């Protein structure tokens, strides 16, 4: 399954519910709609970043969750030349079926929003919008956890855990890419 997700994320412009297989379940937004919602009136550049093995291990250590592969596709949004934020699509299993989230990270490396694009589990296991709103303003630290700053959801604990893991993963990727950019000026521009 990991190889399938790696292949999907490496080849697709953005994950689509149909590409995830096993029935898309409920589709709330297309990737294009989600990006427009997150970044109105912005220029959005899709990048392809190839992580080294060391970067992959660092991300997994920071996030405390597994990374699906070493190819990541950030969507960088700018308005009038100013960085507005970066978005990541995270396709993952909740229990036995897939979910796709859009995670938007601001220039300050804090989450700005989390949007559910599709959810294939029964809808009673989908947390309400106020659960996802808790992620806004969070950064990658020990507080970004269901036992700390994020309140879990009774009856949807697997969905809540999957969302927290996706948030940690996206923030860790963003942090490592920012480290790379400051360590070697122009390094991320070389691989797109």
The residue that leads in pLDDT, 24 or 151, is 151
Check pLDDT > 60 for residue 21. no
Burial-class residue 146 by CB neighbours within 10 Å (0-12, 13-18, 19+).
Answer: middle
Reported confidence tier of residue 186, pLDDT bands at 50, 70, 90: low
The pLDDT, as a whole number, for residue 13 is: 44
For residue 80, the enclosing domain spans 2-190
Q: What is the pLDDT of residues 100-115, one digit of tens each?
A: 999 999 999 999 999 9
Terminal Cα distance for the chain, rounded: 26
- The number of distinct structural domains making up the chain is 1
Check pLDDT > 50 for residue 3. no
Reported confidence tier of residue 6, pLDDT bands at 50, 70, 90: very low
Reported confidence tier of residue 191, pLDDT bands at 50, 70, 90: very low
């Amino acid at each position: 399954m990991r190889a399938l997700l790696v292949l999907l994320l490496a080849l697709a412009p953005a994950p689509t519910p149909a590409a995830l297989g096993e029935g898309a379940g409920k589709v709330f937004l297309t990737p294009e709609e989600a990006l427009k919602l997150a970044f109105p009136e912005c220029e959005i550049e899709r990048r392809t970043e190839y992580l080294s093995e060391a970067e992959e291990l660092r991300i997994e250590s920071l996030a405390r969750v597994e990374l699906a592969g070493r190819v990541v596709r950030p969507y960088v949004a700018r308005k009038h030349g100013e960085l507005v934020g970066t978005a990541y699509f995270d396709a993952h299993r909740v229990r036995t079926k897939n979910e796709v989230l859009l995670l938007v990270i601001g220039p300050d490396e804090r989450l700005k929003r989390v949007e559910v694009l599709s959810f294939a589990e029964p809808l009673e296991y989908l947390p309400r919008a106020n659960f996802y709103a808790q992620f806004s303003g969070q950064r990658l630290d020990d507080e970004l956890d269901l036992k700390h700053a994020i309140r879990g959801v009774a009856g949807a604990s697997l969905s809540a855990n999957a969302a927290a893991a996706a948030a940690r993963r996206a923030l860790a990727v963003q942090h490592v890419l920012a480290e790379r950019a400051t360590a070697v000026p122009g390094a991320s521009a070389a691989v797109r």
